[in-house]
């Protein structure tokens, strides 16, 4: 029941309404199915025995209502009507499949959009606690699995209606035979869910394990390619043997899974049809004569069984999917609860100063910054120095608004920075980190980073970052950088990152050990350029080399959570 609660929370108003319509449609479809199957009984009755047209009051009524003259005509027209009906039934079924697939895929699109939006607005502090491949998996895989579960539930609902309607008709046609069938099918279903379904569940668990292992080995290979290449022959063989073993196991459990999944259908069909044969023999034995009188009823049962077996099979299949993937509903609804920033885009003007007042910040239990008081005037060049791990980057994250203080406040020109203006403040910052991640695209895409393309500005910032000439020897701004920028050297990547920050023409430029990967000469050229660019702007630099910060007005040392001006 709680799953349904969770599922409901995953659907919005419109989707819920569509779902209701879909259920109504599925009732209609099951009625069409039932009529299609039960209509075969009168057809056989009147084709094999014309007398029945006049002995049965319903046939007689139809006969006189439409003013038929001959029995043959009546039977032929009845047959043609049924013919048309089966085409109609096919159309309805096709439409239903289309509607259902559409609904499910829309639900997927909607859910992954919601996840994406949730993630894009989660606070930075929440993001750093998460694992990015997990987040990727949630958007790409779990959302699909969740929609598969919804699909399975929908199919189960339809099949249940089909079963209910057909069952009622079967009871009306012959409650004795129906009861025998019911008991037999029940026993089989119990048997199947107790044996095969359990096996499938177990195999499913193994499969998930093996798959995870499988991915891990592949990721290890591509993520540490250099290290892998540097291994000796034996370890290299061990690595590939490990993969071989896992991939073989993966194939094996997949065989088991696919095979077991085909089991219920085969089993149900075999037992279903042998049941019919048994029934026939029994009836002949009891009557000690031929049983043509019961032919219409029997054909109803044969057809009903023919339709019911796949139904039962689909319900079992749906049940298995539910067992297999129900966790995805938990995961998706849990992830949608991820805390989000609720930012309003009010403008904050930075004309005079940035102030931190009595700021405290801690990661979980660990106090990183303690009672920080700091004023940075507009146009000032500030440097932070200190041992690695002393809290410089954390302080920077506070200033640029990525982290919020646990205690204390930040003011820009005496305006308190809070949810109302945080977004606007962040957008005034140009940030150059120590670790640069370039995506597998051209220089142009990497520098513009979704902002409007301006050729003149792009050339300008590339020159300022001292990378323009290098790019001219390649394909200019169309140069591809490879995944993570692998086709560039560390220093070149760093310079692209600088160009990316400058492209936004920020009021405040922040360098967090941004030039540490550069050689002294390049660094000096770039820093000179940066000091020149930021002549009327504010610059905050974290660096280890004194030469980097020689142009700064003030130097602060960060140590044991406090800052002291040098
Ligand atoms: P610095 O930039 O001066 O080298 P940081 O500001 O990156 O130092 O880190 C300060 C301290 O906070 C370090 O002890 C580090 O281990 C810890 N720290 C940094 N980021 C996190 C995080 N996301 N979760 C928990 N602790 C962190
Ligand atoms: Mg740092």
Residue 205 beta carbon below 6 angstroms from any ligand 1 atom: no
Which residue, judged by its Cα, is nearest atom 14 of ligand 1? 389
Residue 561 beta carbon below 6 angstroms from any ligand 1 atom: no
CA 563 / ligand 2 centre spacing (Å): 15
Instruction: Please give the structure tokens belonging to residue 314.
Output: 């689909």
**pTM for the full predicted model:** 0.81
3-state secondary structure of 288: coil
Q: What is the pLDDT of residue 544?
A: 86
What percent of the residues of the chain are helix, what percent strand, and what percent coil, each to the nearest 5? Answer: 65, 10, 20
Instruction: Please give the structure tokens belonging to residue 283.
Output: 């009836």
Q: What is the pLDDT of residue 55?
A: 86
Residue 389 beta carbon below 6 angstroms from any ligand 1 atom: yes
Residue 354 CB contacts under 8 Å (≥ 6 apart), including other chains: 375, 376, 399, 410, 411, 412, 508, 538
3-state secondary structure of 515: coil
Q: What is the pLDDT of residue 529?
A: 83
Residue 393 beta carbon below 6 angstroms from any ligand 1 atom: yes
* Distances 316 to 198, 273, 321, 426 between C-alpha atoms, Å: 12, 19, 9, 53
Which residue, judged by its Cα, is nearest atom 23 of ligand 1? 128
Residue 26 beta carbon below 6 angstroms from any ligand 1 atom: no
Residue 201 CB contacts under 8 Å (≥ 6 apart), including other chains: 320, 323, 324
Closest atom, ligand 1, to C-alpha of 394: 6
List per-residue pLDDT tens for the chain, 566 residues long: 677 778 788 888 888 899 899 999 999 998 998 898 888 888 888 888 888 888 888 888 888 888 888 888 999 999 999 999 999 999 999 999 999 999 999 999 999 999 999 999 999 999 988 888 889 889 988 899 899 988 998 888 888 998 898 889 888 888 888 888 788 878 888 888 788 888 888 887 888 788 788 888 888 888 888 888 888 888 889 889 999 999 999 899 889 888 888 888 888 778 878 888 888 888 888 888 877 777 777 888 888 888 888 888 888 888 878 877 888 888 899 999 999 999 998 999 999 999 999 999 999 889 999 999 999 999 999 999 999 999 999 999 999 999 999 999 999 999 999 999 999 999 999 999 888 889 999 999 999 998 999 999 999 999 988 899 999 999 999 999 998 888 998 888 988 999 999 999 999 999 999 888 788 888 888 888 889 888 889 999 998 888 888 889 999 999 988 999 88
Residue 318 beta carbon below 6 angstroms from any ligand 1 atom: no
Closest atom, ligand 1, to C-alpha of 542: 2
Residue 504 beta carbon below 6 angstroms from any ligand 1 atom: no
> Which residue matches tokens 């032919």?
295
Strands 508-512 and 429-432: parallel
Q: Tell me which DSSP letter residue 442 carries.
A: B
Q: What is the pLDDT of residue 1?
A: 63
Q: 208, 225, 219, 218: which is closest to 240 by C-alpha?
A: 218
How many alpha carbons fall within 13 Å on the CB side of residue 498? 34
Instruction: Find out whether 169 and 300 touch, Cβ atoms under 8 Å.
Output: yes
Closest atom, ligand 1, to C-alpha of 364: 25
CA–CA gap between residue 170 and residue 157 (Å, rounded): 20
66 phi and psi angles, rounded to 5 deg = -90, 5
Distance from chain centroid for Cα 330: 13
CA 390 / ligand 2 centre spacing (Å): 8
Instruction: Find out whether 465 and 495 touch, Cβ atoms under 8 Å.
Output: yes
> Which residue matches tokens 């309607």?
165
Which residue, judged by its Cα, is nearest atom 2 of ligand 1? 393
Residue 538 beta carbon below 6 angstroms from any ligand 1 atom: no
Q: Tell me which DSSP letter residue 408 carries.
A: E
CA 555 / ligand 1 centre spacing (Å): 21
Residue 392 beta carbon below 6 angstroms from any ligand 1 atom: yes
Which residue, judged by its Cα, is nearest atom 22 of ligand 1? 363
Residue 368 beta carbon below 6 angstroms from any ligand 1 atom: yes
The greatest distance separating any two alpha carbons of the chain, rounded to the nearest whole angstrom, comes to 114
CA–CA gap between residue 507 and residue 429 (Å, rounded): 6
In 326-391, where does DSSP find H-type helix?
Answer: 327-336
Instruction: Find out whether 305 and 150 touch, Cβ atoms under 8 Å.
Output: no
Q: 159, 187, 96: which is closest to 316 by C-alpha?
A: 159
In 121-142, where does DSSP find H-type helix?
Answer: 124-129, 132-137
3-state secondary structure of 511: strand
Mutate to test the pocket of ligand 1, among 126, 130, 366 (most ligand atoms within 8 A of CB): 366
Which residue, judged by its Cα, is nearest atom 19 of ligand 1? 394
CA 518 / ligand 2 centre spacing (Å): 17
Which run of H or of E encompasses 97? helix 71-120
CA 115 / ligand 2 centre spacing (Å): 30
CA–CA gap between residue 403 and residue 118 (Å, rounded): 18
Instruction: Find out whether 361 and 396 touch, Cβ atoms under 8 Å.
Output: no
CA–CA gap between residue 557 and residue 565 (Å, rounded): 6
Q: What is the pLDDT of residue 241?
A: 92
Instruction: Please give the structure tokens belonging to residue 205.
Output: 């668990």
Which residue, judged by its Cα, is nearest atom 15 of ligand 1? 389
Q: 518, 519, 551: which is closest to 533 by C-alpha?
A: 551
Instruction: Find out whether 332 and 10 touch, Cβ atoms under 8 Å.
Output: yes
CA–CA gap between residue 329 and residue 194 (Å, rounded): 24
CA–CA gap between residue 561 and residue 361 (Å, rounded): 9
Which residue, judged by its Cα, is nearest atom 16 of ligand 1? 389
Residue 543 beta carbon below 6 angstroms from any ligand 1 atom: no
* Distances 447 to 60, 434, 441, 472 between C-alpha atoms, Å: 83, 16, 10, 16
* Distances 449 to 172, 197, 437, 456, 500 between C-alpha atoms, Å: 70, 50, 12, 16, 7
CA–CA gap between residue 352 and residue 412 (Å, rounded): 8
Residue 116 CB contacts under 8 Å (≥ 6 apart), including other chains: 139
Residue 126 beta carbon below 6 angstroms from any ligand 1 atom: no
Strands 415-416 and 407-412: antiparallel
Closest atom, ligand 1, to C-alpha of 558: 3
Smallest-distance ligand from the CA of 392: 1
Q: 260, 276, 255, 267: which is closest to 312 by C-alpha?
A: 267
Smallest-distance ligand from the CA of 399: 1
Which neighbouring-strand residues pair with 504?
none
Which run of H or of E encompasses 85? helix 71-120
> Which residue matches tokens 């919020």?
404
CA–CA gap between residue 264 and residue 452 (Å, rounded): 58
Closest atom, ligand 1, to C-alpha of 396: 6
Instruction: Please give the structure tokens belonging to residue 131.
Output: 């694992």
Q: How far does the chain reach from its first CA to its final CA, in angstroms?
A: 64
């Amino acid at each position: 029941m709680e799953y349904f609660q969770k599922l409901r929370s995953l659907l919005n108003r419109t989707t819920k309404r569509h779902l209701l319509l879909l259920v109504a449609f599925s009732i209609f479809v099951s009625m069409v199915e039932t009529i299609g199957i039960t209509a075969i009984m009168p057809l056989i009755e009147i084709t094999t025995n014309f007398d029945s047209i006049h002995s049965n009051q319903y046939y007689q009524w139809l006969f006189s209502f439409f003013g038929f003259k001959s029995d043959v005509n009546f039977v032929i027209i009845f047959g043609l009507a049924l013919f048309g009906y089966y085409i109609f039934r096919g159309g309805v079924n096709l439409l239903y499949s289309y509607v259902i697939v559409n609904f499910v895929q829309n639900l997927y699109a909607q859910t992954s959009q919601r996840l994406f939006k949730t993630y894009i607005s989660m606070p930075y502090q929440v993001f750093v606690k998460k694992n990015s491949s997990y987040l990727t998996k949630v958007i790409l895989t779990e959302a699909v699995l969740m929609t598969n579960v919804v699909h399975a539930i929908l199919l189960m609902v339809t099949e249940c209606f089909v079963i209910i309607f057909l069952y009622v008709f079967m009871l009306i046609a012959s409650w004795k035979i129906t009861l025998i069938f019911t008991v037999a099918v029940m026993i089989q279903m119990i048997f199947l869910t107790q044996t095969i379904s359990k096996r499938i569940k177990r195999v499913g668990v193994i499969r998930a394990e093996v798959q995870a292992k499988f991915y891990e080995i592949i990721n290890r290979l591509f993520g540490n390619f250099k290290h892998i290449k540097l291994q000796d022959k034996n370890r290299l063989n061990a690595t590939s043997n490990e993969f071989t073993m896992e991939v073989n196991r993966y194939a094996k459990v997949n065989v088991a899974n696919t095979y077991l999944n085909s089991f219920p259908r085969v089993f149900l069909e075999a037992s279903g049809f042998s049941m019919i044969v048994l029934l026939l023999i029994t009836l002949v034995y009891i009557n000690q004569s031929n049983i043509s009188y019961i032919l219409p009823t029997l054909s109803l049962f044969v057809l009903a069984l023919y339709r019911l077996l796949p139904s039962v099979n689909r319900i079992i299949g749906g049940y298995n999917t539910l067992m297999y993937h129900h966790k995805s509903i938990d995961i998706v609804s849990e992830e949608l609860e991820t805390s989000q920033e609720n930012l309003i885009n009010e403008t904050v003007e930075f004309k005079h100063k940035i102030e931190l007042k009595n700021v405290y910040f801690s990661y979980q239990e660990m106090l990183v910054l303690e009672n920080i008081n700091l004023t940075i005037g507009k146009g000032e060049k500030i440097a932070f120095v200190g041992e690695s791990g002393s809290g410089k980057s954390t302080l920077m994250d506070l200033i640029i608004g990525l982290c919020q203080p646990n205690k204390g406040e930040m003011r820009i020109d005496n305006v308190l920075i809070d949810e109302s203006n945080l977004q606007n403040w962040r957008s005034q910052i140009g940030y150059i980190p120590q670790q640069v991640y370039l995506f597998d695209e051209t220089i142009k895409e990497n520098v513009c980073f979704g902002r409007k393309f301006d050729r003149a500005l792009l050339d300008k910032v590339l020159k300022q970052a001292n990378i323009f000439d290098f790019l001219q020897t390649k394909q200019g701004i169309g140069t591809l950088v490879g995944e993570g920028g692998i086709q560039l050297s560390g220093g070149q990547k760093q310079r692209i990152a600088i160009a990316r920050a400058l492209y936004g023409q920020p009021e405040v430029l922040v360098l967090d050990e941004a030039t540490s990967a550069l050689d002294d000469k390049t660094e000096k050229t770039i820093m000179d350029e940066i000091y020149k660019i930021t002549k009327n702007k504010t610059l905050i630099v974290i660096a280890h080399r004194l030469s980097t910060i020689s142009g700064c007005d003030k130097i602060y040392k960060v140590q044991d959570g406090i800052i002291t001006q040098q």
